[in-house]
Amino acid sequence: MKLLEHVGRFTLLMFTTFKFPESWKALRKNVITEMHSLGIKSLGIIIIISGFMGAVITIQTATNLESGLIPAYTVGFAARQSVILEFSPTIIALILVGKVGSNISSEIGTMRVTDQIDALEIMGINSANYIILPKIIAAALINPFLITLSMAVSIGGGYAAGVLSGLVSGADYEYGAKLDFKMYFYFYAMVKTVVFAFVLTAVPAYYGYFTKGGSVNVGKSSTEAVVAGSVIILLLNYVLTQLLLI
Amino acid sequence: MIEVKNLYKSFGEEEVLRDISFNFKPGTVNVIIGGSGSGKTVLTKCIVGLFELTKGQVLYEGVDFHPLSFEEKKEIRKQIGFLFQGGALFDSLTVEENVMFPLNIFEQGTQKERKERVDFVLNRVNLTGSEKKYPAEISGGMQKRVAIARAIAMKPKYLFCDEPNSGLDPKTAIVIDNLIGEITAEYNMTTVVITHDMNSVLEIGENIMFIYQGELEWSGTRDDILKTTNKNLSDFVYASDFMKQIRSIANK
């Protein structure tokens, strides 16, 4: 019953959010600000995580390929496939729902409990549209770049780890990483990225927007937003994989 | 003028407001008084449309507000200024940006005209020189004045102030009270102040309503309060010995 209530309220909130803005100029300005806040400020953590993720995938794949019948370039191939299909779009989305999502939820929750949202409403401004829409648009625009960067850094990190550890030669890794590459894999990853960008902004925004009470509830909303966002991302990851890869 | 007719508001099974009818007169400071939890803030939020009514009507210049669409309500809301208890300033914006915010969103005039308007209202609330400061960098009293400046930036016809003096020292509270009284007269606004501060009531209250346990218990003028025989109002107003002394002096 509570789940249905959440779905209903979330849907209504999204109907209110996706409306023409009061001022296009303000929307443009807010989207740019949010792209910086949600995207550029996450670059550091994305680069670090992606680099180590690629390195670990490469080492684990290489040490598990004990059979001499499996060519060495398989390491590069497996690393590329894992990174493009799963690790970069999904794991980075899960990291971002923790970092960006909790930030969005607490920011909007604080606006709610300090009457800033009511202040917007009284001015005649559609508060959901003004606060939430720029975040969703910004994440949908910037996340494909972040995930593409993550893919590149991961594959680069895998190359460095493989070569430096002596588990695979640079030439083999590079050959495997380029082998049988289909643009559809990248398209699939980008579809997931944009869907997850919506989830990791809209779900925390929903929890923040309906926060009641004081600072304790702001923290509670933030935690609930991260948990719900993560579960929804994992669920949609499965659904999208079923729909797009089979 | 704002007319409230037979207003009821319930949250679930709990009836918070019952059969409230009252007229808020233009060009005067209308004051809603009542104890904590009496329903003052709920009533105000019902009047400005932040809460839906369970029953009743709120009319702005004869127009029934609640049945209107969001777009139709927006036209009335543009004429409403609201001073929240905590100020509700946008903490990521400077003082100047906060005041300019509604002007920018509704693109009122040219950039130069907006800047002039912001300078004018900031000067009106004695905040010239604080334009570039953030809300966190100024005192509570200054935050209230910024909130007043933002509320009047759009030249509203109606001004609502929710406990404008809460958390302020007596001297600053009087400054805020006087400011509200002055701008009400200047702009001929319909001002509604919610308070339980009797100093404010006696300082600026002209048309007063007393809410007791969700009902309109009493209404009258500042002078009427001093002579009231209503027990609940007397218990509220003359709770302190100091106020009892004021009454005895006034009645002599």
Buried-exposed string A15-42: b where 16+ CB fall within 10 A, e elsewhere: ebbeeebbeeebbeebbeebbebbbeeb
Residue A51 pLDDT: 96
- pLDDT band (50, 70, 90) for residue A1: low
**Measured between beta carbons, which residues in chain A are less than 8 angstroms from residue B72?**
none
In this prediction, residues A6-31 reach a mean pLDDT of 93
Of A58, A50, A54, whose CA–CA distance to A92 is shortest? A50
Query: What percent of chain A clears pLDDT 70, i.e. is strictly above it?
Result: 100
What tokens appear for B233 in the block? 């109002």
Query: How many angstroms separate the CA atoms of B248 and A34, rounded?
Result: 61
Q: Is the model's pLDDT at B164 over the cut of 90?
A: no
The total of other beta-carbon atoms located within 10 Å of residue B1's CB is 14
Identify any residues that bridge with B81 across adjacent strands, giving them in sequence order. Answer: B159
Query: How many angstroms separate the CA atoms of B131 and A83, rounded?
Result: 50
Q: Chains A and B: how many Cβ contacts under 8 Å?
A: 53
Q: Closest Cα of chain A to B162: distance in Å?
A: 11
Task: Please tell me which of the candidates B45, B78, B86 has its beta carbon nearest to residue A124.
Answer: B78
In this prediction, residues B86-96 reach a mean pLDDT of 90
Could you identify the residue written with the tokens 């102040």? B193
Least confident of A52-56, A76-80, B78-82, B124-128: B124-128
Least confident of A12-21, A48-57, B131-140, B168-177: B168-177
Identify any residues that bridge with B20 across adjacent strands, giving them in sequence order. Answer: B7
Domain residue ranges in chain B? 1-79+156-223, 90-155
- pLDDT band (50, 70, 90) for residue B54: very high
Identify any residues that bridge with B210 across adjacent strands, giving them in sequence order. Answer: B33, B218
ipTM entry: 0.83
Query: What percent of chain B clears pLDDT 90, i.e. is strictly above it?
Result: 33
What tokens appear for B174 in the block? 């009087």
Is-contact B60 B76, C-beta < 8 A?
yes
**Amino acid identity of A132?**
I
Q: Residue B119 has what DSSP assignment?
A: H
Task: Please tell me which of the candidates A26, A116, A125 has its beta carbon nearest to residue B88.
Answer: A116
- Would an 8 Å CB–CB cutoff place A123 in contact with chain B? yes
Contact at CB, B86 and A124, closer than 8 angstroms: no
**Closest residue in chain A to residue B76, using alpha carbons only:** A124
What tokens appear for A29 in the block? 């300005």
Least confident of A53-62, B17-26, B137-146, B164-173: B164-173
Please enumerate in sequence order all residues whose Cβ is within 8 A of that of B158, keeping only pairs 6 or more positions apart, or say none.
Answer: B2, B60, B79, B80, B81, B189, B190, B191, B192
Pick one of 3.40.50.300, 3.40.50.410, 3.40.50.720, 3.40.50.620 as the CATH number of B1-79+156-223.
Answer: 3.40.50.300
In this prediction, residues B186-211 reach a mean pLDDT of 87
Identify any residues that bridge with B32 across adjacent strands, giving them in sequence order. Answer: B194, B209
Q: Closest Cα of chain A to B246: distance in Å?
A: 36
Q: Is the model's pLDDT at A84 over the cut of 90?
A: yes
Q: How many CA atoms lie within 13 A of B154 on its CB side?
A: 27
Contact at CB, B74 and A25, closer than 8 angstroms: no
- Chain segment A167-213, per-residue pLDDT in tens: 999 999 999 999 999 999 999 999 999 999 999 999 999 999 999 98
Is-contact A101 A198, C-beta < 8 A?
no
Q: Residue A18 has what DSSP assignment?
A: S
- pLDDT band (50, 70, 90) for residue A23: confident
**Measured between beta carbons, which residues in chain B are less than 8 angstroms from residue A12?**
none
Residue B174 pLDDT: 85
Residue A55 pLDDT: 96
Q: Is the model's pLDDT at A12 over the cut of 80?
A: yes
Query: What percent of chain B clears pLDDT 70, i.e. is strictly above it?
Result: 98
Strands B190-195 and B158-162: parallel
Give the containing element (helix H, strand E) for B208: strand B207-212
In this prediction, residues B63-92 reach a mean pLDDT of 89
What tokens appear for A98 in the block? 């923790």
Distance of CA A244 to the CA centre of its chain: 18
- Chain segment B216-244, per-residue pLDDT in tens: 988 888 888 877 888 888 888 877 777 77
Q: Which residue has the higher pLDDT, B251 or B72?
A: B72
Average pLDDT, chain A: 93
Query: How many angstroms separate the CA atoms of A61 and A77, rounded?
Result: 10
Is-contact B157 B79, C-beta < 8 A?
yes
**Closest residue in chain A to residue B70, using alpha carbons only:** A124
Q: Which residue has the higher pLDDT, B177 or A8?
A: A8
Q: Which residue has the higher pLDDT, B178 or A235?
A: A235
Please enumerate in sequence order all residues whose Cβ is within 8 A of that of A166, keeping only pairs 6 or more positions apart, or say none.
Answer: none
Backbone angles phi, psi at B55, to 5 degrees: -160, 155
Identify any residues that bridge with B219 across adjacent strands, giving them in sequence order. Answer: B209
